[in-house]
Chains A and B, each alone.
Chain A
Amino acid sequence: MAVVEIKTTAPPTGLAEFWFYFSRNKGAVIGLVVFTIILVLAIFAPIVTPHSPSIQNRDVLLLPPALSAGGQWTYLLGTDAVGRDILSRLIYGARFSLFIGLVVVTLSVISGVLVGLVAGYFRGRTDTIIMRVMDIILAFPSLLLALVLVAVLGPGLLNAMIAISLVNLPHFVRLTRAAVMSERTKDYVIASRVAGAGTLRLMFLTILPNCLAPLIVQATLAFSAAILDAAALGFLGMGAQPPTPEWGTMLAEAREFIQRAWWVVTFPGLAILITVLAINLMGDGLRDALDPKLKRS
């Protein structure tokens, strides 16, 4: 038989392999593109917005979007009840939403990973106590618990973020604990122990890096959940306070105009929907790419 070339290409680098699996998920790529656009808009908000988000133009109250009857091109998505440009407010609002997501995820990941690592590594009584506390937190409806916490701490963006982080905490603790428990009996951990590695070294340098993949996925999903929760708190008057252009707060302000000016309610709602959807799609792609169990062939 003729000589057939047998492919022995070098194994792809981590990043190339990651992109190969990630890009197979079309939804994830779309999510990534949308998220990147939102991120860029948020970062360059002062440059890209046509108007200031807080300056009120009393001549154009509740102006409809440009494409509908009576709209003006300078106010692409119309204006709200006090004459502020909705598009500009949405773009500035993206800053808040992304900032909330980032802070909440950072807070809950750091504390959740620490607590989960301790629970999963030491097991025994420490583990039992930690996990029961987490069960108690999980037993509350998350928004209700966040509301109570904000009521105690006082309304405001910062307190809302702290409350949402706490509500998110148990998911990270459980995930980390499960990952640590499955890793800590593996041969390479024992080999490190035989080489004389101490507890802290084993926990943070040997085990933790191998537990990161599921945590990254969970962090992405928590990011979008945090944006939703913050919007919900804002809507209920317990989050960011007016005149902050936060999406949930904008919705709450617009509630009374829902009948006669649809755009004031619709666009902030759409902004939340699109952002959360994009991040969730991205999270799915990340899971496909990072979870070895889902890798095909």
Chain B
Amino acid sequence: MTHVLEARNLVRDYQIPGSLLKKGKTVHAVKGVSFSVDQGKTLAIVGESGCGKSTLARIVTMIDPATSGDMLIDGVKVDIAKERLTPEMRQKVQIVFQNPYGTLNPRKKIGEILTEPLIINTKMKADERQAKAMAMLKKVGLEEKHYGRYPHMFSGGQRQRVAIARALMLNPRLLVLDEPVSALDLSVQAQVLNLLADLQDEFQLTYVFISHDLSVVRYIADDVMVMYYGEAVEYGSREEVFSDPKHSYTRTLFAATPRADVESIKARLARKNAA
């Protein structure tokens, strides 16, 4: 079976233009990363700010081209630097962003936001589009009455639901989730994670889940890739990575994650009293 997404040795460099006195610099944001994801699975990409995970997300979503390396979607090679993207390929990958407040056009109603991808990519009639958008609203846990409202009338969690609905309007194969829950409250985070799990089951969706939060990753991922300064320092199944981290950075990351269980609290209080 072909992988839904396969990346071979992806590299992305940025040129920082020089000035009269300074020479231009090349920044290597992603330094040769390879991975693959199968249908219905979730690959989590973990790392701290500046590790290149968002750059990688933009490459996978075909917003920016890779400097070198191959990317295959459903076994078909894509290179947006060389050729124009076909609408079929465009529809296969969609993205959900981190910030629920910047992701929806504030001047458009929810209905317009949801139907826009259909207007651009399909020849559906207006009433079909509306019916599909209404159905999708219900799928993501919103109601039909929300169709005619503006984004500012929604909470962060509801907006993220709308963003997910928009991403699903074109029936994509792959969904890139760029920190989709890090701006949300704990209880809302749980709802959105549940929604994502439900949708994955229903549509056999493939997720690339980008996050810095290890507890979320441990909950949602099948495979985990840890990035550090543009390199994949650790890549394996969730069990492998969490039970037996190989790279020292992964271990640092695990050690730094605050633990909210009773044993760790007892241990901490004991240390404090001893001191």
The short answer to whether A and B are in direct contact, CB under 8 Å, is yes
Residues of A within 8 A of B (CB): 10-11, 14, 186-188, 190-198, 201, 206, 209-210
Question: Does B166 contact A190, Cβ atoms closer than 8 Å?
Answer: no
Residues of B within 8 A of A (CB): 61-63, 87, 90-91, 93-95, 97, 99, 102-108, 116-117, 120-121, 150, 152-153, 163, 166, 169-170
Residue of A nearest to B112 (CB): A205
Question: Does B63 contact A190, Cβ atoms closer than 8 Å?
Answer: yes
Question: Does A188 contact B121, Cβ atoms closer than 8 Å?
Answer: no
Cβ distance A184 to chain B, nearest Cβ, rounded Å: 12
> 6 closest A-B pairs (Cβ-Cβ)?
A195-B117, A209-B107, A187-B97, A187-B102, A187-B103, A188-B105
A196-B120 contact, Cβ under 8 Å, with A187-B97, A187-B99, A191-B163: yes
Question: Does A11 contact B94, Cβ atoms closer than 8 Å?
Answer: no
Write 24 A-B pairs (CB below 8 A) sorted by A numbering: A10-B153, A11-B152, A14-B150, A188-B103, A188-B104, A188-B105, A190-B95, A190-B97, A191-B103, A193-B63, A194-B61, A194-B63, A194-B94, A195-B116, A195-B117, A195-B169, A195-B170, A196-B90, A196-B120, A196-B121, A197-B120, A206-B105, A209-B107, A210-B107
> Complex formed: what's the CA distance from A186 to B163 in Å?
14
Cβ distance B21 to chain A, nearest Cβ, rounded Å: 21
User: CB-CB < 8 A to A197: which residues of B?
Assistant: 116, 120
Residue of A nearest to B95 (CB): A194
Residue of B nearest to A190 (CB): B63
User: CB-CB < 8 A to A210: which residues of B?
Assistant: 105-107
User: CB-CB < 8 A to B106: which residues of A?
Assistant: 188, 210
User: CB-CB < 8 A to A14: which residues of B?
Assistant: 150
Question: Does A188 contact B153, Cβ atoms closer than 8 Å?
Answer: no
Cβ distance B164 to chain A, nearest Cβ, rounded Å: 11
A195-B105 contact, Cβ under 8 Å, with A11-B152, A11-B153, A187-B97: no
Residue of A nearest to B153 (CB): A11
10 additional contacts (CB under 8 A) given A191-B103, A191-B163, A191-B166: A11-B153, A187-B97, A187-B103, A188-B106, A193-B63, A194-B63, A195-B121, A195-B166, A196-B121, A210-B105
Question: Does B97 contact A191, Cβ atoms closer than 8 Å?
Answer: yes
Residue of B nearest to A186 (CB): B102
Cβ distance A125 to chain B, nearest Cβ, rounded Å: 14
Question: Does A201 contact B120, Cβ atoms closer than 8 Å?
Answer: yes
Residue of A nearest to B94 (CB): A194
> Complex formed: what's the CA distance from A97 to B97 in Å?
49
Residue of A nearest to B105 (CB): A188
Question: Does B61 contact A192, Cβ atoms closer than 8 Å?
Answer: no
> Complex formed: what's the CA distance from A278 to B104 in Å?
37
> Complex formed: what's the CA distance from A190 to B62 in Å?
11
Question: Does B102 contact A188, Cβ atoms closer than 8 Å?
Answer: yes
User: CB-CB < 8 A to A186: which residues of B?
Assistant: 102
A192-B105 contact, Cβ under 8 Å, with A11-B152, A197-B120, A201-B120: yes
> Complex formed: what's the CA distance from A187 to B121 in Å?
20
Cβ distance B157 to chain A, nearest Cβ, rounded Å: 16
> Complex formed: what's the CA distance from A209 to B87 in Å?
26
Cβ distance A147 to chain B, nearest Cβ, rounded Å: 40
> Complex formed: what's the CA distance from A206 to B113 in Å?
10
> Complex formed: what's the CA distance from A186 to B99 in Å?
10
Cβ distance A195 to chain B, nearest Cβ, rounded Å: 4
Q: Choose one: B87, B104, B105, B163; the contact of A196 (CB below 8 Å).
A: B87
> Complex formed: what's the CA distance from A195 to B121 in Å?
8
Cβ distance A214 to chain B, nearest Cβ, rounded Å: 14
User: CB-CB < 8 A to B90: which residues of A?
Assistant: 194-196
> Complex formed: what's the CA distance from A188 to B166 in Å?
11
User: CB-CB < 8 A to B104: which residues of A?
Assistant: 188
> Complex formed: what's the CA distance from A196 to B62 in Å?
11
User: CB-CB < 8 A to B116: which residues of A?
Assistant: 192, 195, 197
> Complex formed: what's the CA distance from A288 to B165 in Å?
35
> Complex formed: what's the CA distance from A75 to B97 in Å?
69
Residue of A nearest to B61 (CB): A194
Give the residue among A14, A188, A209 with the most B Cβ atoms within 10 A: A188
